[in-house]
Amino acid sequence: MKFLLLLHRDEGVAADAAFVTRISPEYAAYGEAMAKAGIILGGERLTPASTAVSVRRKDDRTEVLEGPYAETREQIGGFYMIDVADIDEAVKWAARCPAAAFGTIEVRAISPTR
């Protein structure tokens, strides 16, 4: 099954250069472990939520709003797409992610294609 691990974190923490330098080797090791296990399908770090735009259509009119859709303390800072046996295995990999120590990892199954 395919899952997204959505990495929610406080952008203030993630913007601290010393913190990023310290945690980068942990992310590298995590990525290597997923690659060695053959489960990683992709993943990327995202730009700050302040660079986002939100798009919606209303009555055939497109609205583009600057910034994230929801105002929350934690924003999505990145993601991993993995392919594992089940939700339990996905949760185990999420718990190993360095971001779990300072944020929240949302685990979402990818809906199977028709």
Give per-residue pLDDT as tens, 12-51: 766 677 877 888 899 999 999 999 999 999 999 888 888 8
| Strands annotated E in 1-114 | 2-10, 40-45, 53-58, 61-66, 74-83, 103-109
Name the band, by pLDDT with cuts 50, 70 and 90, for residue 94. Answer: very high
* In the predicted structure, residue 76 carries a pLDDT above the cut 90: no
The amino acid that residue 83 corresponds to is D
Q: What is the mean pLDDT of the chain?
A: 89
Give me the pLDDT at residue 29, please: 96
Q: For each of the domains in the chain, give its residue range(s) and CATH number, in order of start.
A: 2-109 (3.30.70.1060)
Residue found by looking up tokens 């924003």 in the block: 75
Quote the percentage of the chain above a pLDDT of 90: 57
- Which residue intervals of 38-104 are DSSP H helices? 87-96
What's the predicted TM-score (pTM) here? Answer: 0.84
Residue 71 has pLDDT above 80, yes or no: no
Our measurement of the distance from residue 17's CA atom to the centroid of its chain's CA atoms, rounded to an integer in Å, reads: 19
